[in-house]
């Protein structure tokens, strides 16, 4: 992603390059319009944004309603370092990476330093603007008590977006919005801007960068945990090479799950917070046990999860599945399989080739038909 704007002389100058930095999103349901990102990557070798210095421009104030239905203003957090992110209240791609990076950065800093930091989200979805949506997102991602996620009427949100040079609009039934994250110092000045990378494996190094930048603006004498740099490594994992991921069960991690060449595999990449995950995985279980189905593997993309045990807790609430579930703890498997949304279905031919993919869930009959057609078209026996 290119940075959407530049700062000079203490003032913001919005460039035409802002349009190129938009993140393209696709609508999966029209009722109440849940919408999801289709990310744009930065560089192949290192998508992690090191941050753009903003030089201490005063951060515009705003007043919104948070996930508890309470009004708050940015100015009330004066005295703390504010991490301000523009987050789609129904996003299933980049926004969860943004919020996980924010949370991980606080954990890296340690409790004393974290007490001097305030996380703030501004709803970037122009359709799902009611307080219930920011509450749902906060609950799903384990952030209910960790931040203030604000929303308002559409004119009020548009005013905030404009102040921070964030674009959010509907184009052909989809939403584009700038995935901006700001660091605002304790005096209320904009210091750093980040754009979230779309790669799942970029969460850890982006968290490290955020923690180091936040630490720069903390009061002197505040104890900060030793911070280690984390370097992004492009994924070398894919359907052409075997990989073993930890297997998760209702009792915890037990053994491994092998992905890769050998036989056709239908992999479903998911997270516990995905809407209808329980129902969809249960339906997939029935499909996986039916004659003529390829091997099915579930993959929990843990870099988007609110806790390391999220998948385990999800499985505890479900009937036993007929297929194994693995955990992608680093995000490298999801990146290697070209996953850009959750849920995400990938069919491989057993020879290291992806022969079919689908963004989102499909009814079982449609899934059965599409997979059968793909296998037939590529002359593959399940």
CA distances for 307 relative to 49, 87, 137, angstroms:
24, 20, 15
Do the bridges between strand 5-8 and strand 168-171 make them parallel or antiparallel, or are there none, so unpaired?
Answer: unpaired
Residue 173, pLDDT score: 63
pLDDT digits (tens, 9 = 90+) for 249-266: 999 999 999 999 999 999
Q: Is the preceding peptide bond at 343 cis, omega within 30 degrees of 0?
A: yes
Query: Rounded CA gap, 109 and 211, in Å?
Result: 6
**What is the Cα–Cα distance from 226 to 47, expressed in whole angstroms?**
24
State mean pLDDT over 278-289: 96
pTM, two decimals, is: 0.88
- Residue 229 pLDDT level (bands cut at 50, 70, 90): confident
What tens digit of pLDDT does each residue of 159-192 get?
A: 999 999 999 877 666 667 799 999 999 999 999 9
Cβ-count burial of 190 within 10 angstroms (0-12 exposed, 13-18 middle, 19+ buried)? buried
State residue 40's pLDDT score.
35
The predicted-structure confidence for 314-352, as pLDDT tens digits, reads as follows 999 999 999 999 999 999 999 999 999 999 999 999 999
Q: Report whether 344 contacts 357 (CB < 8 A).
A: yes
From CA 152, how far away is CA 129, in angstroms rounded?
Answer: 6
**Range with the poorest average pLDDT among 28-37, 79-88, 141-150, 359-368:** 28-37
Average the pLDDT over 223-227 and give the result.
95
Q: What number is the average pLDDT over the span 111-138?
A: 97
Per-residue confidence band for 93, with pLDDT thresholds at 50, 70 and 90 = confident
Lowest mean pLDDT among 31-40, 46-55, 135-144, 279-288: 31-40
**Torsion sign over Cα 284, 40, 4, 176:** negative
Structural domains of the chain in order of their starting residue, each with its CATH number: 5-216 (3.40.30.10), 243-377 (3.40.30.10)
Closest CA to 138 of 176, 181, 90, 206: 90
Q: How many residues does the chain have?
A: 382
Percentage of the chain exceeding pLDDT 70: 87
pLDDT at 12 exceeding the cut of 70: no
User: How many angstroms separate the CA atoms of 97 and 305, rounded?
Assistant: 9
What does R_g of the chain's alpha carbons equal in angstroms?
21
Q: Within 13 A of 263's CA, how many CA atoms are on the CB side?
A: 9
Q: Which of 117, 118, 126, 135 is nearest to 66 (CA)?
A: 135
Q: Given this model, what pLDDT does residue 18 score?
A: 34
């Amino acid at each position: 992603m290119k940075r959407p704007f530049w700062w000079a002389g203490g003032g913001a100058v919005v460039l035409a390059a802002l349009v190129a930095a938009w993140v393209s999103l696709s609508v999966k349901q029209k009722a109440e319009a849940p919408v999801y990102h289709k990310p744009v990557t930065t560089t192949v070798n290192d998508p992690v944004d090191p941050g753009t210095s903003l030089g201490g421009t005063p951060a515009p104030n705003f007043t919104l309603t948070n996930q508890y239905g309470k009004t708050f203003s940015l100015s009330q957090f004066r005295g703390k370092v504010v991490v301000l992110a523009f987050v789609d209240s129904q996003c299933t791609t980049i926004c969860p990476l943004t919020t996980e990076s924010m949370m991980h950065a606080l954990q890296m800093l340690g409790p004393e330093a974290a007490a001097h930091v305030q996380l703030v989200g501004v709803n970037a979805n122009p359709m799902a603007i009611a307080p219930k949506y920011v509450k749902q997102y906060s609950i799903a991602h384990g952030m209910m008590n960790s931040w203030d996620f604000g929303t308002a009427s559409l004119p009020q949100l548009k005013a905030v977006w404009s102040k921070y040079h964030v674009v959010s609009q509907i184009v052909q039934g989809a939403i584009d919005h700038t995935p901006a994250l700001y660091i605002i110092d304790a005096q209320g000045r904009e210091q750093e801007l980040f754009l979230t990378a779309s790669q799942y494996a970029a969460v850890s190094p982006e968290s490290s960068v955020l923690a180091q930048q936040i630490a720069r603006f903390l009061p002197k004498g505040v104890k900060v945990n030793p911070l280690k740099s984390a370097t992004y490594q492009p994924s070398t994992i894919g359907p052409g090479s075997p990989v073993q991921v930890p297997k998760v069960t209702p009792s915890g991690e037990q053994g491994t799950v092998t992905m890769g060449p050998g036989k056709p595999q239908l992999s479903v990449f998911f997270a516990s917070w995905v809407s209808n995950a329980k129902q969809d995985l249960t339906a997939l279980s029935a499909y996986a046990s039916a004659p003529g189905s390829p091997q099915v593997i579930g993959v929990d993309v843990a870099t988007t999860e609110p806790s390391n045990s999220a998948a385990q807790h999800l499985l505890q609430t479900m009937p036993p599945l007929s297929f194994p579930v693995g955990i992608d703890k680093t995000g490298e498997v999801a990146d290697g399989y070209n996953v850009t949304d959750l849920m995400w279905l990938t069919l491989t031919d057993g020879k290291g080739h992806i022969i079919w993919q689908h963004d989102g869930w499909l009814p079982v009959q449609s899934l059965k038909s599409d997979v059968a057609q793909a296998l037939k078209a590529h002359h593959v026996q399940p």
